[in-house]
């Protein structure tokens, strides 16, 4: 059962309005559907646009932040729980441990690295969580093209498409989480060597 949703997102305060609007809408729908939010613990960017709405609706926001960023003073006191980790690797592991699902909003290199690691974890059978990319304003179109190119050139199996879901709207992302049925992940040596 999904209760805590990990949200990866930009910490930038200088994006086009549509990104903050959809992050807030996603947080609104997420919390009204009974989900809590695990995120980077920041009071910045799309992270906070989403988390603030979750908090306003009475759901929990749970922060995980590396010590270096915490010492810069970018955390928020609004989290019901804030874990400070030694570094980014420990942060990701803690967020993974605390969450039942993953959603990536638009973001930069950090967001890209975070959710692609979750895809690899699922590919190897370390988790079976729903992984969703929220494609606000077509943000992930080019990345999806790159994924398709990797698959077409056999750098990833065709079944890799089943590891993640690209949602075009906040409501589509939340509905996917609500209806998610994990498939059995039988990872074997034969699977690793298979072209499909």
Predicted confidence (pLDDT) per residue in 111-130, tens digit: 999 999 999 999 999 999 99
- Measuring CA to CA, which residue among 80, 21, 68, 63 is closest to residue 46? 21
Domain range spanning residue 171?
4-140+164-185
Q: Is residue 196 part of a domain?
A: no
- pLDDT 10s digit of each residue in the chain, 196 long? 899 999 999 999 999 999 999 999 999 999 999 999 999 999 999 999 999 999 999 999 999 999 999 999 999 999 999 999 999 999 999 999 999 999 999 999 999 999 999 999 999 999 999 999 999 999 999 999 999 999 999 999 888 999 999 999 999 999 999 999 998 766 677 766 666 6
Q: Is residue 150 part of a domain?
A: no
Angle CA 24–35–38, to nearest 5 = 75
Q: For residue 87, what is the domain's CATH number?
A: 3.40.50.450
Q: Is residue 118 part of a domain?
A: yes
Q: Is residue 190 part of a domain?
A: no
The residues facing 66 across adjacent strands are 85
**165, 134 contact by CB (below 8 A):** no
Q: Is residue 114 part of a domain?
A: yes
Number of structural domains, the chain?
Answer: 1
The 10 Å Cβ neighbour count of residue 43 is 18
Q: Is residue 194 part of a domain?
A: no
Residue 140: phi, psi to the nearest 5?
Answer: -95, 10
Rounded Cα distance between 39 and 102, Å, is 10
Q: Is residue 92 part of a domain?
A: yes
The 10 Å Cβ neighbour count of residue 104 is 28
Q: Is residue 192 part of a domain?
A: no
């Amino acid at each position: 059962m999904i209760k805590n949703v990990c949200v990866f997102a930009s910490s930038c305060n200088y994006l086009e309005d549509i990104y903050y609007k959809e992050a807030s809408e996603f947080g609104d729908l997420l919390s009204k559907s009974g989900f809590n939010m695990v995120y980077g613990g920041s009071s910045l960017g799309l992270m906070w646009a989403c988390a603030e709405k979750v908090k306003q609706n009475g759901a929990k926001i749970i922060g995980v932040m590396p010590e270096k960023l915490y010492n810069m003073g970018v955390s928020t006191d609004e989290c019901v729980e804030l874990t400070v980790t030694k570094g980014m690797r420990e942060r990701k592991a803690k967020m993974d441990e605390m969450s039942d699902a993953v959603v990536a909003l638009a973001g930069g290199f950090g967001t890209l690295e975070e959710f692609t690691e979750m895809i690899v974890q699922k590919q190897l059978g370390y988790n079976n969580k729903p992984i969703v990319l929220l494609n606000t304003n077509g943000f992930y179109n080019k990345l999806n093209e790159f994924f398709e190119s990797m698959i077409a050139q056999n750098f990833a199996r065709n079944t890799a498409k089943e590891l993640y879901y690209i949602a075009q709207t906040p409501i589509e992302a939340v509905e996917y989480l609500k209806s998610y049925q994990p498939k059995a992940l039988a990872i074997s040596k034969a699977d690793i060597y298979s072209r499909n």
